[in-house]
Structure 1
């Protein structure tokens, strides 16, 4: 008995050590990026852990940098925030409305639409890249915010997740609300949305993160510097911005901060929603 307890404690200790090492391996790249964003420029990428720190990299971004090279950064950050929030809001709005119709309304062709959503989810998005670009160009939306927002306004994954959740809601709630004279929009707003807070947090965070990290589409539909998102501007730093590694790390930190803040705010609901989605 004593020997088995010692062995179990040893196995548990080994697991903790391995888990800690794995966590350090996963966290260190981000920690390295943060440390170098605050490091003195003489130590950026030259020491494993910098010993001198300053805010010079962030000041460079915020104040315009040398000869104005850094001026697009704050504008690019605003573009990323605006485009991500607008796209995510539309994806959530259309997702919840379409899902309610597919889950709770009876109409001809409902199964066909549902099957089309499932069928379309198997296609990689890159297949529609060229057709979407040609449409954006022909309707005159090239190099505008609309070019980055409209093609990303519908998420089939969000529709799929909401549809499965709404199907699990008893029809008795819907029927009782309709007997009281509630419309479908009121039922959706007063009943379905409050009940779906947990799954909404999951969908919101995934959609926001996906849109926030979008690069390829934003790169091909915008041309002018004042329309660039932060991801696109970061990808261009290997050219004229390559000699400023400190601001590069600082901009990368700014790129990840909104996602961390959103997860900190909606973390509890996110965990609850993940529990439901894994059932």
Structure 2
């Protein structure tokens, strides 16, 4: 009996060791980036774990460093926030409204629209890149916030997720609200949305993360330095700023901070929403 218990404990210990090792392999690249963003410049990329730490990389990033030339990091960071928040908000609003119509309203052509959404989800987005770019140029939105926001204002994935979730909500709630004289808009935001907090957290976090890390489209539609997002600026750092690896790491760390904060705030709802989506 004792031998059996010891073997069981040994197996459990081995599982924890293996799981910890795999977790370390997955997490270490990020830890390496964080450590080198605080490392003394003489130790950056010289050892796995630096022994001397400093804030020099972050000071250089925000003040211009030794040469005293201001880098547009702060401006690029706020550009990323403006574009990401605006695009995500529009994707959420349109996703909720379209999903409610497809799941709870009866109108001619509903099945056609639903099938179009499903078809377009599997359509390679890069094929539409050039036509979208030409349209942005024709309407005079090139090198503006709108050029980065409007083409990303609709997410078919969000529509698909909300539609499936709304279908699972009993229609009796909607019928009762309509008997009380509630409009579809009021039903959507007073009944449907409060019941969809978990899936909303999942959709919101995925859309925000996707838009926050967007690079190709933002590179195409902006050219002036004051309109660059942090991703685009980071991609350009490997040229003129390639000799400053510390600030490169620091800017990369800053790029991840909003996503980490969002996951920390909405983590519980995210788990609940993922459980529903995996059923």
TM-score, normalised by the number of residues in structure 1: 0.97
1:247 match:
247
SS at match of 2:193: helix
1:226 match:
226
Q: 2: CA distance between counterparts of 1:32 and 1:70?
A: 27
CA deviation string 1:214-265 (max 9, x = no partner): 0010011111111111011111111100011000000000000000000000
Contact 1:87 1:150 in 2 (8 A): yes
Structure 2: segments with no counterpart, 5+ residues: none
Contact 1:60 1:247 in 2 (8 A): yes
Alignment of 1:185-204 (within 5 A): 185-204=185-204
CA deviation string 1:81-116 (max 9, x = no partner): 110000000000000000000000000000000000
Q: CA deviation at 1:10?
A: 2.6
Q: 2: CA distance between counterparts of 1:159 and 1:11?
A: 45
Bigger mean CA offset, 9-18 vs 45-54: 9-18
2:37 match:
37
SS at match of 1:196: helix
Q: CA deviation at 1:136?
A: 0.6
Does residue 264 (structure 1) correspond to residue 264 (structure 2)? The answer is yes
**Cα distance change of structure 1 residues 28 and 256 upon mapping to structure 2, 3 Å threshold:** same
SS at match of 1:17: helix
2:25 match:
25
RMSD between aligned alpha carbons?
A: 1.1
1:138 match:
138
1:152 match:
152
1:105 match:
105
Q: CA deviation at 1:3?
A: 4.4
Alignment of 1:48-63 (within 5 A): 48-63=48-63
2:15 match:
15
Contact 1:65 1:71 in 2 (8 A): no
Bigger mean CA offset, 6-15 vs 202-211: 6-15
Bigger mean CA offset, 45-54 vs 225-234: 45-54
Alignment of 1:74-113 (within 5 A): 74-113=74-113
CA deviation string 1:61-92 (max 9, x = no partner): 11123445552111110111110000000000
TM-score, normalised by the number of residues in structure 2: 0.97
Q: 2: CA distance between counterparts of 1:5 and 1:125?
A: 56
Paired positions, count: 279
Q: 2: CA distance between counterparts of 1:117 and 1:267?
A: 29
Bigger mean CA offset, 119-128 vs 252-261: 119-128
Q: 2: CA distance between counterparts of 1:106 and 1:68?
A: 63
